[in-house]
Chains A and B, each alone.
Chain A
């Protein structure tokens, strides 16, 4: 690979991270919040798809993409609230409900999304961080959608709030020991209900990014499992919102490797390069595996650890 090809790939990786990572980030942050409160919501794949459909439909009907983003978040909260309410009932397994919600969310989205596959809705705009360079490639690669910044700020605020606020402490306590939370007079069910609802809101917004910005159209294969990957990213990020952001950016960059290498003429083995994000995830997980540290980070009330 000569130098200019190297630059093209590098620019593509950065561009890929900025373009592709946002949905992963929102879903991962939403799931992080939910899991911190002691519940697993596997249904976020369905939430992502429903958010994408709702965002696109509302943007098309109202002409305002930002209204679409808001509606997507609300649709996501409804699914989150359903999950939160059902899991409150006695002897209900949150993982099983999550899988049910995933199928429900995608089904509802496909059913109501039918009339919106063809029409073209107004999309979200973007601005470039690289305009000052005067270089067209860099300007295009550094196109950023405001939602990416919203995601990063949300992650930072979450990290700060978990560590420094009463609310953050309550969420963490509910997730680590329901008994202590009850002893403190905190309603465990209410906290988890609110966290799952808020997590659903974030995942819904992530869906709106898919349909309203990148790739920027609504169809039924839009998500192709990104919601599930993002849930896995939370474990990879060991329940830290900051690490969720980094993981999402890394995952987005790795996803650009396959197309970028083919575009500079490294065409052999593209199936392998297309699998790069997953291989990367595996390697980092193995490299960072440490049973003691993982045990410290994981919320004690999660049904997968109990």
Chain B
């Protein structure tokens, strides 16, 4: 037994040596290419937010010279800092992409100070110029794709009532709901959107209940803004109504009723990071955009989309690429207050602070 006796000193020496050895080997490899570390809060195949990022990560891997390291199901706690730190130290990541809202403060802020040579980018518009320069934000204006959903949905409804299952009444969710309504109103002026808030990002049973409640109340096109739209789309398909997707492609889940869906196109941003890093350029701190920058897209039309809906949606996409505004003032909220006095550009920061539902949406933010 004495041979197997654990000697702490020998163990420490041996592990220090091996860490140095791997460090040196990987350090040599660093010059050759770019290593990108991506951290997800949920499973990569959730039919939603995480999948949208994972699809882009998969595409990144095909670029020569780019190595991608990923970790999924990382909670928004100290655990994400540990994951990112090990990507920096063990995998020699040049850039860390944190894809969940809660990763930013304090974890990514602290890490960006600790590792000044590594770039940190976070998928929500939280970066401010006061924060470290190797930290930054990126996001897509998904509301533009929801607007296209609305344009198609307006031509797909018979009851003129559209249903929206939403998680929480925060600006990005409200903007998707309002854009969906404006899109629907464009092709169908008598369309209304009924919204049900579930209260959290992932509550499968309540999402199913909300979908059923919307269909019971007469909605015949359902869309959503929750982390994983799988349950909403499948429940709606079971009830025989049409659906528009969110975040990633849910087309396979609704072979009969799927119209189109709002998807991110993260690969545009990720490719930009990879080529800037390879070229040794300084990365931008803030990257954002919608259709005009090729950062969002719509899922290819499903069986639920009529020819008229396809044509209208396609021309709406062309309009957005030409920067035609969605929010054409004056517009009132559903309590009668004038909230949008003039016509705003699609990327206007004023719209990022949205805390109201427009006239035509049945629902409340509180």
**Could you tell me if A12 and B198 are in contact, using CB atoms closer than 8 angstroms?**
no
- A selection of 27 A-B contacts at a CB cut-off of 8 Å is A12-B212, A12-B213, A15-B216, A16-B209, A19-B208, A19-B209, A110-B73, A117-B45, A117-B47, A140-B216, A214-B208, A215-B208, A216-B208, A216-B238, A217-B230, A219-B204, A226-B205, A256-B209, A262-B195, A262-B213, A263-B194, A263-B196, A267-B195, A267-B363, A267-B364, A268-B364, A270-B364
How far is A219 from B233 in the complex, measured between Cα atoms in Å?
A: 14
**Could you tell me if B228 and A219 are in contact, using CB atoms closer than 8 angstroms?**
yes
Residues of A within 8 A of B362 (CB): 265, 267
- B335-366 near A? 1/0 per residue, CB < 8 Å: 00000000000000000000000000011101
Residues of B within 8 A of A214 (CB): 205, 208
Is A134 in contact with chain B by the CB < 8 A criterion?
A: no
- Expressed in whole angstroms, the minimum distance between the Cβ of B72 and any Cβ of chain A is 9
- Expressed in whole angstroms, the minimum distance between the Cβ of B70 and any Cβ of chain A is 14
- B156-175 near A? 1/0 per residue, CB < 8 Å: 00000000000000000000
Is A190 in contact with chain B by the CB < 8 A criterion?
A: no
How far is A65 from B208 in the complex, measured between Cα atoms in Å?
A: 20
Interface secondary structure of A, over-half rule: helix
**Could you tell me if B209 and A221 are in contact, using CB atoms closer than 8 angstroms?**
no
- Expressed in whole angstroms, the minimum distance between the Cβ of A294 and any Cβ of chain B is 30
Contact partner, A263, options B199, B205, B217, B364, Cβ 8 Å: B217
Is A114 in contact with chain B by the CB < 8 A criterion?
A: yes
Residues of B within 8 A of A110 (CB): 73
Top 5 nearest A-B pairs by Cβ distance?
A267-B364, A215-B208, A263-B213, A263-B217, A259-B213
**Could you tell me if A222 and B213 are in contact, using CB atoms closer than 8 angstroms?**
no
Is A8 in contact with chain B by the CB < 8 A criterion?
A: yes
CB closest chain-B residue, reference A118? B45
How many chain B residues touch the partner (CB < 8 A)?
A: 39
How many chain A residues touch the partner (CB < 8 A)?
A: 41
- A101-129 near B? 1/0 per residue, CB < 8 Å: 00000000010001001101000000000
List B residues at the A interface (Cβ < 8 Å).
42-43, 45-47, 73, 194-199, 202-210, 212-214, 216-217, 228, 230-231, 234-235, 238-239, 252-253, 362-364, 366
CB closest chain-B residue, reference A268? B364
- A202-230 near B? 1/0 per residue, CB < 8 Å: 00000000100011110111101010000
Known: A256-B213, A270-B364. A215 touches B45 (CB 8 A): no
Contact partner, B214, options A140, A220, A263, Cβ 8 Å: A263
Contact partner, A8, options B73, B217, B238, B366, Cβ 8 Å: B217
Residues of A within 8 A of B46 (CB): 117, 219
Known: A220-B43, A274-B206. 19 other contacts (CB 8 A): A19-B209, A19-B212, A20-B205, A118-B47, A140-B212, A216-B235, A217-B231, A219-B231, A221-B203, A221-B228, A222-B204, A255-B209, A258-B198, A258-B209, A262-B197, A262-B210, A263-B216, A264-B217, A269-B366
Residues of A within 8 A of B205 (CB): 20, 210, 214-215, 224, 226, 255
**Could you tell me if A259 and B228 are in contact, using CB atoms closer than 8 angstroms?**
no
How far is A20 from B239 in the complex, measured between Cα atoms in Å?
A: 17
Residues of B within 8 A of A141 (CB): 216
Residues of A within 8 A of B234 (CB): 215-217
**Could you tell me if A220 and B213 are in contact, using CB atoms closer than 8 angstroms?**
no
CB closest chain-B residue, reference A260? B213
Is A271 in contact with chain B by the CB < 8 A criterion?
A: yes
Is A11 in contact with chain B by the CB < 8 A criterion?
A: yes
**Could you tell me if B198 and A221 are in contact, using CB atoms closer than 8 angstroms?**
no
How far is A221 from B205 in the complex, measured between Cα atoms in Å?
A: 10
How far is A283 from B95 in the complex, measured between Cα atoms in Å?
A: 53
- Expressed in whole angstroms, the minimum distance between the Cβ of B69 and any Cβ of chain A is 18
How far is A141 from B215 in the complex, measured between Cα atoms in Å?
A: 11
Residues of A within 8 A of B253 (CB): 120
How far is A267 from B194 in the complex, measured between Cα atoms in Å?
A: 10
Residues of A within 8 A of B214 (CB): 263
